[in-house]
Amino acid sequence: MKPLRNVVILDLSKVFAGPFCSQQLSDLGAKVIKIEPIDTGDDTRTWEPKREGQSSPFLAFNRNKRSLAVDIKSPEGLDIIHTLTKQADVVIQSFKASTAKKLQIDYNSLSALNEKLIYCEITGYGSGGPLSDLPGYDVMLQAFAGIISTIGEPDGPHTRVSYAAVDLGTGMFGASSILAALLERSQSGNGVHVELSLLDTAISLMSYLAQNYLTTGEPPRKTGWANTAIVPYQAFRAADGDIMVGVGNDSQWQQMCRAFNREEWINDPRLKTNADRVRNYFVTAELVQEELFKESISCWLERLGNAGIPCAPIYSFDETVAHPHTVARGQIVNTNHPTLGDLPLVGFPAMFNNEPRSVESPPPLHGQHSIEILEEAGYSTGAIMELIERNLVYQGDSAS
C-alpha cells in the first residue's frame, strides 16, 4: 500500500534529518526529487564507511528517490527550483534561515509560487532566537539540550547517544507533521508552513526526564544503571555473559522472586514495592545480581521468560540481523543498486495489510536522474544540454 503515491516532494535537505524525513514519505509512496549540489552532492556521499565508492550513511537515508544535481546559486538553477516548486506538493529544506532567504528558497519566496505548498524547514536552532544562525549537528544539540549530561556513570566521562537520535527524531517529527499538513490541506485547500529544529526535537526527546525536572525542580543527572522510575531495570551479569532485565511492576517483581526461589523477598520492606526498590536501588541490584550470576543467559531467558519477566540478550547488530525472529519480520529488505548490485537496507518499520516490506528503487547515484527530471518539468533537450555544458546541472556518470 502506497498512500502517498500521488504526492510529489522536492527535497532540498542534506545529511540525516531532512533525508530521513523524505525517505519515510517515499517509503509511503511519495515521489521524491532529491536536489544535490553539482560538485560532491549531499555531504554524506563523502562520509565513511564506503564500498566501491558508495557511502553507507548516504545509502541509509536516500532510497526511493531520484537525484537532480543543480547549482541552485545560479539564476538558471534557481529557475529550475522554482519550476519544480510549482509542480510539487511538498518542499523540504534544511538551510539556515538567512541562507534560505538569500537563495530565494525561503517560505515566502516558494509559497508565492504555489499557494497550496507544504513547506517544511529544518534548522539546528530554529528560525527565531539569538542562536538561529548557528550550524546544527546532532551531537551539538545532544549537548545543548542536556541529553549528554544524563548519560554514563555519575563519576565517569561524558558520552553521547551512539546513533544520531536527534537527527532521526527530527526526521520522524517532520514526516508526521507533513502528513498532518497534507491532511489539513485536503480539508482547507491551503498550504502549510512547517518548522522543525534539532533543538526542539532534542528537548522533546528528553520527555519524561524533562518532566521530572519541571515537576520537581531537580535536573536529571548521570546515574549509570540506576533508574529513578523503576528497579530493577538494567543489565546484569549471568554466568556466561550479560542479560537485560526489566521489572515494570510489583506483580512482575513477585514473579521474579518466585523464579529465583526467593519468595521471602516479596514481603521484604526494602523490596516490596517499586518505590521501595527505587529507594534501595543498590541493595536490590546486588541481590538480583547474586541470583543471576548462578545460571547461564539461556537458562534465565527461558526461566524468566516463562515467568513473564521482560528480559533480553545483549546482542551485537550482526547477531540481531541473523536471529530467526528478525529474519521472520523481514525488516532487512534488498534492492538492486546500479554499482553495488544486491544491496540490503533497513526497511520501513510499519506494515500495511500484512504486505511484505519492499523498496521501490535504490539510493540514487549523484545526478543520476537530472535529465529525466528536467524533461518531465518541461525543459527541452537543447536547454538541458546547455545547462550541463555550462556546469549548472550534472547528469551523473550513470544517468538513466
Domain with CATH 3.40.50.10540 in the chain: 8-205+330-394
Q: What does the pLDDT read at residue 128?
A: 84
pLDDT at residue 400, rounded to an integer: 42
In the chain, CATH 3.30.1540.10 covers 233-317
Residue 53 has a CB neighbour count (10 Å cut-off) of: 9
Handedness of CA 297, 300, 304, 309 (dihedral sign): negative
| 277-308 confidence digits (pLDDT tens) | 999 999 999 999 999 999 999 999 999 999 99
Which residues of the chain carry a pLDDT beneath 70? 397-400
317-336 pLDDT, tens per residue?
999 999 999 999 999 999 99
Residue 228: predicted pLDDT: 82
233-317, what's its fold?
A: formyl-coa transferase, domain 3 (3.30.1540)
pTM score: 0.93
What is the pLDDT, as a whole number, of residue 225?
Answer: 85
User: What confidence score (pLDDT) does residue 397 get?
Assistant: 65
Cβ neighbours around 249 below 10 Å, total: 11
Q: State the Cα–Cα distance between residues 310 and 288, nearest whole angstrom.
A: 14
- Predicted local distance difference test score (pLDDT) of residue 133: 87
List, by residue number, the catalytic residues. Answer: 167
Domain 8-205+330-394 -> CATH class:
alpha beta
The pLDDT value recorded for residue 362 is 97
